[in-house]
Chain A
Amino acid sequence: METPARISGENKEVFRRVLIRCFWKLFRTTLLLIPSLRRRQQGRRVGEKFLSRKIIQDCGYQINADVNGAKNILRRAVGYMLMAGAVVTQPEGERFVLNHTPQPRASGGCPPMEGGGHWHEDKMGFVDTIIAERLTKCFNGLKAVDSVTFRIKSGEIFGLLGPNGAGKTTLLKMLATLLKPTAGVARVCGYDVVGEADEVRRRIGIVFQEPTLDNKLTAFENLDFHARMYGMDKETRRRRIKDVLKLVGLEGKVNVLVENFSGGMQRRLEIARGLLHSPEVLFLDEPTLGLDVQTRRGIWEHIKRRNEEEDVTIVVTTHYMEEAEFLCDRIAIIDSGKIIAADTPEKLKNSYGSASLSITVASQSDAERLAARLSAFGFVEGVSVRNNVVDVRGGGEASVPRLVLAAFEAGVEVKALNFRESTLEDAFLRLTGREIRDEEGSFNDFIRRAHVLWHRRR
């Protein structure tokens, strides 16, 4: 059924070597079950990284292969090349076509790669903390995540915004090793999310959208379970649990069974648990859903602080524009499984949002007269009339005097002015094209949500 891997390129020798490395690694993974061999293997890891890096750097190549074909090996090979800064140049159906031109190795630092990739002296020896390339997940034919490609830098706070059912949770779960991608490659902290899932798990923390607490345990027991699973010693456990409980304001409820918590309290406990250990990457799936304003603020600030002080890379999905704007260095807007825009909040607002001015005049006829006149301006993107109010979109704050002056010239009396900055929400609505998704999927989502809330309440 599966198409065999097809490799083509200028330098077949190099491919042979990359693939041999990957074969060897796979072979060794099976040997891993024997403990005495494992120790020896650790020493080799360094050499291997070096080697694969060297191979990639040494030569120009083009890889042309079906990643689903010989899954493990090719995913590994493509992953290495991605980490080395290779970029996809031509989408050719379901195939990967990677292109890469060699750069001379400068002594000391690492030369920048073409196409925006960099060498990066991370402790893994590679740049971006998260690399996703053509990541796809199908659920019985439905493409929940559809060929998504992005990179997240170390220490960045990256937001995912999208309507219900856009595929945010599915994407996070793939990065967190809980779902296996149908196609594509993803690497977190330099490790493949499928082939090296254990290594990835050691480095990440996640707060899920749905409740994942054990209702029959107390708050303390839930946190203690988590801390022990992450291998914390007794002293650290005690200290950290106290800290995070204080952060979410649940100190008084340490020994209360979780089933007796309110929905918001359970949510807070869940966040506390996500912050308990110190991951390199933190995934937050709608972290502050259903929380009161004070708690939300506190949690935002904590997240920011963790990001700044410990350099944690954070990926957060949210429906609150305010939250996205406050937290995120970069925001990706995702709809129907595709990333349709990714940029800083500022740039998103400027490129896709628009400021608007509402001018209230004396009567509807005045308003229509004014509207006709204003639509002649070049910077105006749209004019609409509601009763005696004219809404003008486009132009910034600087355009207000000109518009008012135009009204004056037309002999229309201006009663009131209301200027609104361009917001992320505008950009979001413009990009996703609707306020609330109404498709057949929405009913399922509604049921899912009701189910979640029902569980949480219990």
Chain B
Amino acid sequence: MRARSSDKVGKRTQVKMKVRVLNPAAIYTLWLRETIRFFRLRSRVLGSLGMPLFFLAFLAFLPVEASSVHGLRYIDFLAPGIVGMTLLFSSMFAGLSVLWDKEFGFLREIMVAPVSRVSIILGRIAGGMTTSLFQGVLMLLAAFPMGFRVEGLNEAASPAVAVLGGVLLAVFFMMLISVTFIGMGVALASKLKDMSGYSLVMNFLVFPIFFLSGALFPLDGFPHWVRTLAYADPLTYGVDALRKCLVGVGEFPLLLDFAALVLSSIAMVWLGAYLFEKTEV
């Protein structure tokens, strides 16, 4: 009896690995799937880039009088905001794609795998971050033909350092923004039963977050309560940080932006992981 059962163990060496809280192989696998899907669905990429692109194109041609904000040319003010918008939409979409998986059943395949829920969330974040970063950078590049210029950080020693440092820092902030909203998307997707809640989220959450963030126009002249709401919006800090990094002008100190975004991303990932853990499929 003993001999036989040890025999059995020998045959099953394949599933030898322990379930670890952090499982890099599984995170990579989930990332791989996300990116394969993303680049396979080119029409989706194009579709999701359409809206910010049109915002950028039309608003860039606003009449000159209205187009000077904080002493910036409007296009310089707008472009970081549009990048923020792209990140908001694409990250939210990546988080909410849990709903698609639910609908098409693939979530079951993921959930029954011997991978900790934390790793599953991290895999989704890694995948979503890659795809939304890709879209954000694409949008940034699209702004150049419209007259956008990167000034870089204004405290830097030389212009070259300013631009390079600014761009690198901007990419870092883009990551934080996308982590925040992927977390939010996962949290919502875990709560929603199926796709019917999707437009609800889009219209009552994503658009308000977008308009309140001051991506398109400064919120200086708005009533007090609107500005209070804006301060509770993580994207406000994200867009502000992007402006600071790319064109050197911003409302808050960079450190405050950083703190707010780190806080919001930790909170959202935690919330997402907590709610995701409890989903039944």
Contact = CB atoms under 8 A, between A and B. Distances in A.
Contacts of B66: none
A394 to B, nearest CB: 44
B21 A32 contact: yes
Interface stretch (A6-14, A19-27, A206-214): A206-214
Contacts of B2: 121
B6 A33 contact: no
A225 interface: yes
A73 to B, nearest CB: 20
A232 interface: yes
B11 to A, nearest CB: 6
B277 to A, nearest CB: 10
Interface stretch (A98-106, A173-181, A288-296, A422-430): A173-181
B64 interface: no
A108 B213 CA distance: 72
A280 B104 CA distance: 27
Contact of A236 (B14, B41, B109, B115): B14
A213 B108 CA distance: 9
Interface stretch (A47-55, A197-205, A349-357, A384-392): A197-205
B40 interface: yes
Nearest to A455: B104
A217 B37 contact: yes
B115 A216 contact: no
Contacts of A215: 104
How would you classify the secondary structure of chain A's contact residues: helix, strand, loop or mixed?
Answer: loop
Contacts of B116: 198
Contacts, number: 111
B15 A212 contact: no
Interface stretch (B25-33, B47-55, B88-96, B168-176): B25-33
B19 interface: yes
B8 to A, nearest CB: 6
B111 A178 contact: yes
Contacts of B25: 228, 231
A236 B15 CA distance: 11
B200 interface: no
Nearest to B1: A121
B121 to A, nearest CB: 14
Nearest to B109: A212
B19 A198 contact: yes
Contacts of A151: none
Interface residues of A, number: 44
A44 interface: no
Contact of B15 (A203, A210, A217): A203
Interface in A225-269: 225-226, 228-232, 236
B8 A123 contact: yes
A325 interface: no
B280 A179 contact: yes
Nearest to A230: B15
Given A123-B5, A231-B15, A212 B108 contact: yes
Interface string A212-224: 1111110001000
Contacts of B15: 202-203, 230-231, 277-279
A206 B112 contact: yes
Contact of A178 (B11, B17, B108): B108
Given A212-B105, A278-B15, A178 B37 contact: no
A216 B26 contact: no
B19 to A, nearest CB: 4
Interface residues of B, number: 38
A445 interface: no
B255 interface: no
Contact of A35 (B12, B14, B21, B281): B21
A206 B105 CA distance: 13
Given A121-B5, A177-B112, A277-B14, A229 B281 contact: no
A421 to B, nearest CB: 37
Nearest to B106: A214
A228 B26 contact: yes
A384 to B, nearest CB: 46
Given A122-B5, A221-B36, A229 B115 contact: yes
B114 interface: yes
B29 A123 contact: no
A322 interface: no
Contacts of B26: 228-229, 231
B112 A123 contact: no
B92 to A, nearest CB: 20
B113 interface: yes
Nearest to A233: B14
A114 interface: no
A310 interface: yes
A232 B8 contact: no
Given A198-B19, A221-B36, A229 B113 contact: yes
A343 interface: no
B37 to A, nearest CB: 5
Nearest to B110: A229
Given A198-B19, A277-B14, A279-B15, A123 B9 contact: yes
A201 B112 CA distance: 6
A346 interface: no
Contacts of A221: 33, 36
Contacts of B21: 32-33, 35
Given A176-B112, A201-B19, A213 B14 contact: no
Interface of A: 32-33, 35, 121-123, 176-180, 198-199, 201-204, 206, 208, 210-217, 221, 225-226, 228-232, 236, 273, 277-280, 310-311, 455
Interface of B: 1-2, 5-6, 8-9, 11-12, 14-17, 19, 21, 25-26, 28-29, 32-33, 36-37, 40-41, 104-106, 108-116, 280-281
Given A221-B36, A225-B109, A278-B11, 7 more contacts: A202-B114, A211-B104, A212-B109, A213-B106, A228-B25, A229-B115, A279-B15
